[in-house]
Amino acid sequence: MHTLQSYLCGSWQSGQGDPQPLENAVNGETVAQVTSRGLDLAAAVRHAREVGGPALRAMTFEERGKALKSLSAAIHEIREELIDLAAQNGGCTRGDAKFDIDGATGTLAAYAHYAKGLGDKPYLLDGEGSQLGRTARFWGQHVRVPRRGVAVHINAFNFPAWGMMEKAACSLLAGVPVIEKPATSTALVAWRIAQVVVESGVLPEGAFQFLCGSAGDLLDHLGAQDCVAFTGSARTGEIIRGNANLVKHNVRVNIEADSINAAVLAPDVDESSETYGLFLTNVSTDMTQKSGQKCTAVRRIFVPREQADQVAQDLAAELGRISVGDPTERENRMGPVAHSGQLEDVRSGMAQLSEVAKAVTGGLDPHPKGGCFVTPTLFQAQDGSAQVLHDLEVFGPVATLIPYDGSAQEAAALVCRGGGGLVTSVYSNDGDWTAEYVLEVSPWHGRVWIGSDRMAEQALPPGMVLPGLIHGGPGRAGGGEELGAERGLEFYMQRVALQGFKGFLQTHFG
C-alpha cells in the first residue's frame, strides 16, 4: 500500500500519528494512507518565499512558460498510470480520469502558450500609460509585478489533477511559488503528479511544494504577500475566508465553491431540433460525468410547463442508457461516487429533494452493485417555489427538473434564486428571448453558455472549464475568479500605478 508523503523544503517527508486511509469506492478497500501531522509548515512557507520565489523571478515569463510545457509533457507520459490510479482512488471511469488528467496537461500547455506573448521583462504592462500633468512630462503607467510570497492552493476531491495544475500554471507563470494541498480522500493521483513534477527537475527548488493530508496550521503562517486559492465546499470556504490570521494580514483569498447550476430550455425549442438534442445530451452528460461530482454540473433543469413531462421522459431515457459499474470496465460510462462519506452526503441530499419533488428515474433505493454506486436520478418538481431546490447541492448524479411559465423573466428569476453560479446554460434559437435572459442572469454568473442550432455541431459542453475563459462566480459560487488566459495571473501579481517622468517610465517600464 502507498504511504503518501509530502514534498516540503526540498525533501519527501512523512507526518506522524494515525494515518487517514484512502479508499477504493468500488469495494471499500484501503488503497493508500496519509498523515501530515507534525510537519513543519512554517518552514515550508519560508522555503517558498526565500528559495522558490527568488529563483522563479530570476526566470523570464517565457522560461517559466517553457517549464510549464515540460511539466505538461512529463505528466502526459504517465497518463495511463494516472488513469489507473484515478479508478482505484476516486472511482473514475477512463473517460472521467482523462477529463481530469488531460485538463491538467492541457491547461499547463495553454499557459505555456500564453507565456509567449508576455515578453522578457520582470513585470507586465497593465493598459496604456496616460498623461497626468499639464504636458506629457508627468506620466502614469500601471504595471503588474509578481508578489513576494507563496501561493497556497487547497483543492477539492473531484479534480485532483486539473485542480492542482490549473492553479499551479497561473501562479508559476506569474512568478510565485506554490504549496499544493490536494483533498485527502482522493490524493493518490495528485501525489503521483507531484512526484513527476519534483523528479522532472524543470522547476527551481522551492517553486513547488506538496502537502499531502490536512492543512494543519498552514494558513496561520501566511502574511501580506501570500495568497490562498481554495476550491471546495461553501462551508469550508467560509472557514478559510474567516481565518483570523488571513483576515488580520489581508491575505488575498480566492474562493471557488459550489453552485446550483441551471440549464434552461426556452419555449421555442421543438423536439425535432438540433438544439433539443444538444440539450438532452449535455444535461445527461453533466449529470453523470464524474458521477455528477463536478462543480459545474447541472443541478436544476428549467423547462416550459407544457413540455415538462415530455422532457422528463426523454431525459430519463437518456440517463437509462448510461451503464453504471466498475470504472475499470470500459463498457461502463459511470462509476461510483468517490468515497463512502460522499455516498452518505448524496443519499442525505436525495432524501431532502424527495420531500419537494418526485423521482422520474433512479431514486433512493441502494444501487444493486453496492459500493459507492448511485443510480442517476432525475427528480421533477411541481414548480420552483421550494428554496431547497435552489440551495442544496447534491454532489452526485442527481438533478431536478423544474417547470416555468416560458418567459425569459421567470426563467432568469428562478435561476438567480441559486444565489450566484459558476455557469448557466440556455438552449434557444430565439435571439431576443435569449438576449433578455442572458442580461438578467449575467450579474449572477461567471459564465453563461448559449446553445443553439447554429453552434450545436461545434459546441463544447457547458460543464467544461476552458483555460482561455474565466472560471468562478459570484455569491454562492465563492465570489472568485480563475483562469481566463492572462487574467489568471492577476491574483498572483501586484498592480502598481507608477507616476513620474515619461522618459524614465518609457525607458524602464515601457
Binding site for ligand NAP (CB under 6 A): 154-159, 181, 183-185, 214-215, 231-233, 236, 239-240, 256-258, 295, 393, 395, 422, 478
CB 138 to ligand NAP: min, Å: 44
Residue spans of beta strands (DSSP E) within 119-198: 124-125, 130-131, 138-146, 151-154, 178-181
Classify 400 as helix, strand or coil: strand
Taking the complex as a whole, the smallest distance from the CB of residue 402 to ligand NAP amounts, in Å, to 20
Say which residue the cell 451503464 belongs to.
323
| Cβ(288)–Cβ(376) below 8 Å | yes
CA distance 199 to 74: 10
The minimum distance between CB 185 and ligand NAP, in angstroms, equals: 6
Give CA–CA dist 113/107, Å, rounded. 10
Q: All 3 cell numbers of residue 387? A: 428554496
Cell of 234: 461553501
Taking the C-alpha atoms of residue 4 and residue 491, their distance in angstroms, rounded to an integer, is 30
Q: How far is the CB of 288 from ligand NAP (least distance, A)?
A: 16
Name the active-site residue from 295, 318, 393, 482: 295
* CA 397 – CA 377 distance, rounded (Å): 6
Q: How far is the CB of 234 from ligand NAP (least distance, A)?
A: 7
Active-site residue, 50 included: no
Q: How far is the CB of 330 from ligand NAP (least distance, A)?
A: 26
Nearer to ligand NAP, 77 or 217 (CB): 217
Query: Nearer to ligand NAP by C-beta: 18 or 331?
Result: 18
Instruction: Give the residue with the Cβ less far from ligand NAP, 300 or 502.
Output: 300
Name the helix (H) or strand (E) containing 19: none
Nearer to ligand NAP, 158 or 282 (CB): 158
Closer CB to ligand NAP, 80 or 238, in the complex:
238
Dist. CA 24–CA 89, nearest whole Å: 5
Q: Within the chain, how many helices (H) and strands (E) appear? A: 16, 23
Grid cell locating 23:
479508499
Complex with ligand NAP: residue 360 or 422, whichever CB lies closer: 422
Q: Kindly report the backbone phi and psi dihedral angles of residue 345, in degrees, each rounded to the nearest multiple of 5, phi listed first.
A: -60, -45
Least distance (Å) between residue 355 CB and ligand NAP: 21
Q: Which residue has the cell 512529463?
A: 74
Closest approach of ligand NAP to the CB of residue 464, in Å: 12
Identify which of residues 261 and 380 has a Cβ nearer to ligand NAP in the complex: 261
Buried b (16+ CB within 10 A) or exposed e, 405-441: ebebeebbebbbbbbbbbbbbbbbbeeebbebbbebb
Strand runs labelled E in 308-444: 357-361, 377-381, 398-404, 421-427
- Tell me the three cell numbers of residue 386: 421550494
Residue 99 or 427: which CB sits closer to ligand NAP? 99
Tell me the three cell numbers of residue 311. Answer: 422532457
Whether 490 sits among the annotated catalytic residues: the reply is no
Element (H, E) at 192: helix 187-200
| Strands 138-146, 124-125: pairing kind | antiparallel
Q: Which of 166, 180, 256, 481 is catalytic?
A: 256
Catalytic residues: 256, 295
